[in-house]
Amino acid sequence: MAHETATVSEVRRERYARRLPTDLSALRGPGGGRVRLPLHLAWSGLTEYDLDRPRLRMSCYRTVLAEGGHDDLVRHLNRDLLVEMWPVLRTLVSKDLRVTWESAFRELTPASG
């Protein structure tokens, strides 16, 4: 009997998919100001971010998307900011993370054209 093994990419995508909110409207994080991420998210760099500064906001979102569980995503991400930043943010996250989020949420899928 053949044993089928999932690829690394499939494992990552499944891990990211388990963390997703059911809808982007569940992302109720702050829309600006300073935030402090817990160490289980920001274990290798900055822990405090000024969301009013675009580069720091992008860095914060990259960290939360890559390291956060479901509760972290809904607590620290803001739906409107995520949608606004996604065209650039999608180029800064891993392919597996990007594919998982874009497959789950039509609002994040680049317009074909």
Percentage of the residues of the chain whose pLDDT score is greater than 70: 96
Q: Is the pTM of this model over 0.85?
A: yes
17: helix, coil or strand?
helix
- State the DSSP string of 17-74: HHH--SSGGG-B--SSSEEE--TTTSTTS--EEETTSHHHHHHHHHHHHHH--HHHHH
Instruction: Quick: pLDDT tens for 58-82.
Output: 999 999 999 999 999 999 999 999 9
Query: Are the beta carbons of 30 and 80 closer than 8 angstroms?
Result: no
Instruction: Quick: pLDDT tens for 22-58.
Output: 999 999 999 999 999 999 998 777 889 999 999 999 9
Q: Evaluate if residue 112 carries a pLDDT over 60.
A: no
The CA distance from 38 to 79, in Å, is 20
Dihedrals φ, ψ of 29, to 5°?
A: -70, 175
Predicted local confidence at residue 44, as pLDDT: 77
Query: Are the beta carbons of 108 and 20 closer than 8 angstroms?
Result: no
